[in-house]
Structure 1
Amino acid sequence: MGRKPNPMEKRAGSGEWLTDHVYYFTHQIVNVFFILDEHDPDTWVIVDAGMPRSASRIIREAANVFGKDAEPSALFLTHGHFDHTGGIKELVERWQMPVFAHREELPYVLNQRPYPAPDPTVQGGLIAKASRFFPRYSYMPPQGAKALPEDGSVPYLDDWRVIHTPGHTPGHVSFYHGLSRTLIAGDAVCTVKQDRLLDVVTQDQHVTVPPVYFTPDWEEAERSLKRLAELSVHHLGAGHGTALHGCTVSKAIRNLSDHFQEECPKKGRYLPR
């Protein structure tokens, strides 16, 4: 492996450091995260694999941040939707790294089961209306995937833990680092209204519900949000939208949890009757 830089150097490509040990960048509409182990500068991992045909961008970004010979120890999936697994085949072939997902997500990640159909009837903007064309299958890792540990630990990252946050998908997970109060939430929450094209383009920033067109279980999504609302969060990175920082982040998550029903769409095929 190539030498990894001291993260305090803030070496970066076109993204930014969420914290001293977490780097992220946006490819099209989705974020990809690199987590550097704070105890071992030779260990870093990837969270999510971006949109289809994103592998070359991810590889280039990793070279910019960690050096051209750097190799990640693993790839973790918050979930298996197409926009989070698009580069997975090329990344695994390049780096021969293991892929981890929650055990309840594995049937979808391994294409043993399709995700529920997107909901173009849901209340929302242009992206919601176009969701009928989105794939229901994951981009499958060529060497399969492993289940994340049941005890909530994160392989290769001793100070992080996994939080099961279903609703958007059955095995959706978020990753939390208590010492720095950092949350990588995947699509359990967004920091932009992902169904609205204008908000996506302008990155109008606030904590909001999961992508409405691809969330089939809103009751589980609310329970997951309540779990996240119990955390102390100072740095929030979501699957969609720009990062949020500061003492108001936890308050924003709690406020969304308290007013979840008001923020949910009022019509759609998956809403509670």
Structure 2
Amino acid sequence: MKIAENVFGYRTAIVNIAYIAGLGSTKKDWVLVDTGVPYSAPFILKNTKKLFNEKKPLAIILTHAHFDHIGALQTLVHEWNVPVYIHEKEIPYLESKKKYPPPTPFKEKGMMSFLSPFYPRDGIDFHSRIKPISSEHSLAFLEGWEWIYTPGHTNGHISLFREKDRLLLAGDALITVKQESLFAVLTQEKEIHGPPAYFTPDVETSIISIKKLLALDPQILYTGHGVPMYGKEIREGISDLLYQHSEEAVVKGG
């Protein structure tokens, strides 16, 4: 689906990927953001061919290294032989040198939460063509965009923002569906939520990241899970989310 000018979305089962086009001197270059769930590579390649014919991307950018965002990575890199950009704090997880913390299936109830102990937590032992994103290294080829450090869901999570139209690709820093609920996932009921609770070990840091994203005043929002959102519903949704969190904090604190 078209999200905005030169930005397209594609859903692989439970997770979204994004295409950023209109890059380079000819405006015909493009990049892929995230690579979907395992076994989604044939579908991604088919969709990519519809959009760009045989032209391969400049790079793949990963918002983080959870299993549902790196599922097709190895196949796509083998097919395209392009660099993979990911925050330096995520590299040990991508390379299987570290495992993500165990899930918390009862933090927020729902079938997807209850199933979370069965989701992979380790990486894919991937070492090929990795380019670290850090405070010293920007994504220079991504003209008109900036990367935003949005930890909490994971240590090295990033989001992407385009100032021109205030388009935010938030990854899982915040999402537009209640990912803990199987019913919500199947129906894609639109509502802004924090990152999937079962795989978010540092909730307070994730709230700080969400406040950082709210300060950008995004007018177009596309996330790792859920449907696109536009205009005032974004600010209202994020504000409601932050208010609910503050109310819960007061209750828990007595």
TM-score tier after normalising by the smaller chain length: over 0.9
Distance in 1 of aligned mates of 2:192 and 2:37: 22
Q: What is aligned with 1:60?
A: 46
TM-score, with structure 1 as normaliser: 0.87
1:32 aligns with 2:17: yes
Taking a change above 3 Å as real, the CA distance of residues 147 and 184 of structure 1, as seen in their structure-2 partners, is: same
8 A Cα contact 1:110 1:144, kept in partner: no
1:9 corresponding residue in structure 2 = none
Q: Which residue of 2 aligns with 1:45?
A: 31
2:78 maps to which of 93, 103, 106: 93
Measure, in 2, the Cα distance between the counterparts of 1:91 and 1:30: 17
- In structure 2, how many angstroms separate the alpha carbons of the residues matched to 1:216 and 1:148? 22
Contact 2:34 2:61 in 1 (8 A): yes
Say whether 1:203 aligns with 2:175.
Answer: no
1:159 — aligned with what? Answer: 144
Residue identity opposite 1:191 in structure 2: T
DSSP 3-state at the match of 2:97: coil
User: Structure 1 regions of 5+ residues with no counterpart?
Assistant: 1-15
Q: CA deviation at 1:46?
A: 0.4
Aligned length: 251
Distance verdict in 2 for CA 1:179–1:153, change over 3 Å: farther
User: What is the root-mean-square deviation of aligned Cα atoms in Å?
Assistant: 2.0
Task: Note the residue ranges of structure 2 that are not aligned, 5 or more in a row.
Answer: none
Q: Superposed, which structure 2 residues align to 1:1-273 within 5 Å? A: 16-38=1-23, 40-67=26-53, 69-151=54-136, 153-262=138-247
C-alpha change, 1:235 and 1:148, in structure 2 (3 Å) is same
Runs of 4+ in 1 over 6 A off after TM superposition: none
Question: How far apart are residue 258 of structure 1 and its match?
Answer: 3.6
Percent identity of paired positions between Structure 1 and Structure 2: 37
Tell me the distance in 2 between the aligned counterparts of 1:32 and 1:53.
14
**Cα offset, 1:127, TM superposition:** 0.8
Structure 1 residues 132 and 73: alpha-carbon distance in aligned structure 2, compared to 1, 3 A threshold: same
Greater Cα shift, 57-66 or 132-141: 132-141
Shift, 1:180, TM fit: 1.2
Per-residue Cα deviation, 1:116-173 (whole angstroms, up to 9, x for no partner)? 0112232210110011101111234351511114257324212111111001000000
**Offset at residue 38 of structure 1 (A):** 4.8
CA contact 1:181–1:232 (8 Å) conserved in 2: yes
- Within 2, Cα distance between the matches of 1:56 and 1:180? 32
Paired with 1:161 and 1:152, the residues of 2 have a C-alpha distance of: 11
